[in-house]
Amino acid sequence: MLQAVKLTKRYGGIEALKGLDMTVEGGDIYCLLGANGAGKTTTISLFLNFTEPDAGTASVCGLDVTREPLETKKLLAYIPEQVMLYGNLTALENLRYFAQLGGRDYSREEYRGFLSRVGLQPEAVDRRVKTYSKGMRQKVGVAIALAKQARALLLDEPTAGLDPKASNEFSELLLKLKSDGAAILMATHDLFRARETGTRIGIMREGRLVDELSTGEVTHADVEKIYLQHMHAGGHYAQQGASSA
């Protein structure tokens, strides 16, 4: 579904991504962990073709995103850390707009259906979204992904700043999408949820994928230990030592 082959990206002289190889299949929730600047967001931007790779390819359902930028986007849904909606439009109007941008259209009842599936209170549907909490916005973001009938989802720290209940509801939604067969790639800092919700975990450091785990084979404590080992290993401290020497 989602595949990166030797994906490389430089910003200025700095290599943000160094030959990333990864695959996310349908029914997978692949959680990308790593410090800020490890290359998680860059990976997502490359799949969306918001930025051009310097080498390697990113493909969605076998289509190269740089060659078929519009087609591949139609297969994807993207949910950022802050789902940005149009404040003066209602949830339903926002959803309809984004669905139409994705080339789909539904009846009002169907739109209501999507919004109720993601757990938005029916009375909020016709309210302007400038009054919405972050959790409600993220739900609309998922509804947009549902309405788009995306084959693959790209999530960039979608639960950051959500309260535990909202975060939990969001994870439930992801599990539903997964059971529908979507391929989900999620950048996150939440080790606990990554283990709970994810099927696989990838750990990134300085533009490289340094480890991959299957969540069924590890405990939460294992994940944290392995993550911290990688963060401490060589790189960070060694570099600091070198620069101060």
Partner 1 sequence: MIVAIARKEFLEIVRDGRFKWTAGIMALLLLTAMAAGYQKYSAYMDMQRLSQDKTNAQWLNQGDKNPHAGAHYGNYAFKPAGPLAFFDNGINNYAGTALFMEAHKQNFAIGRPASDQSSIGRFGDLSGAMILQLLMPLLIIFLGFTAFAGERESGALRQVLSMGVSNRQLLWGKALGIGAAVLLIVGLCVAAGGVALSFADLPMENESLGARVALMALAYLLYGVIFLFLTLAVSAWAKNARAALMLLIGFWAFAAFLAPKAAVEISKAAHPTPAFGKWMADMRSHQMRGIDGVPPFARFEQESREIFAGYGADSIAELPVYVGALRLQKFEEYDFPVFEKHYGELRDSYTLQRRLQDRIGIVAPTLPLRSLSMALAGTDLIRHVDFADAAEAHRRDMARKVNDYLGKAAVSLNTGYGGGNVLIADEAVFAIVPPFKFESQGLGAVLAEHSGNFIGLALWLAAALGLALWSARRLKAEEG
Per CB under 8 A, residues contacting partner 1 are 45, 48, 50, 70-74, 76-78, 80, 82-86, 88-89, 93, 96-98, 100-103, 105, 128, 144, 148, 154
How far apart are the C-alpha atoms of 7 and 112, rounded to whole Å?
A: 40
Would you say 10 or 208 has its CB closer to partner 1?
A: 10
Give min distance, CB of 222 to partner 1, in A.
Answer: 34
Give me the least distance between CB of 221 and partner 1, in Å please. Answer: 36
Q: Helix H segments across the chain?
A: 40-47, 69-75, 91-101, 108-117, 134-148, 164-179, 191-197, 220-232, 235-244
Q: How many CB atoms lie within 10 A of CB 213?
A: 20
Q: Which of 33, 48, 36, 42 is nearest to 11 (CA)?
A: 42
- Smallest distance from the beta carbon of 9 to partner 1, in angstroms? 13
Q: How far is CA 189 from the centre of its chain?
A: 12
Quote the least distance from Cβ 84 to partner 1, whole Å.
4
Q: Please tell me whether residue 218 adopts helix, strand or coil conformation.
A: coil
Residue closer to partner 1 (CB basis): 47 or 227: 47
Nearer to partner 1 by Cβ, of 158 and 209: the residue is 158
Nearer to partner 1 by C-beta: 103 or 234? 103
Query: Would you say 49 or 167 has its CB closer to partner 1?
Result: 49
Helix, strand, coil percent content, the chain, rounded in steps of 5: 45, 25, 30
* Residue 145 beta carbon to partner 1: minimum distance, rounded to whole angstroms: 10
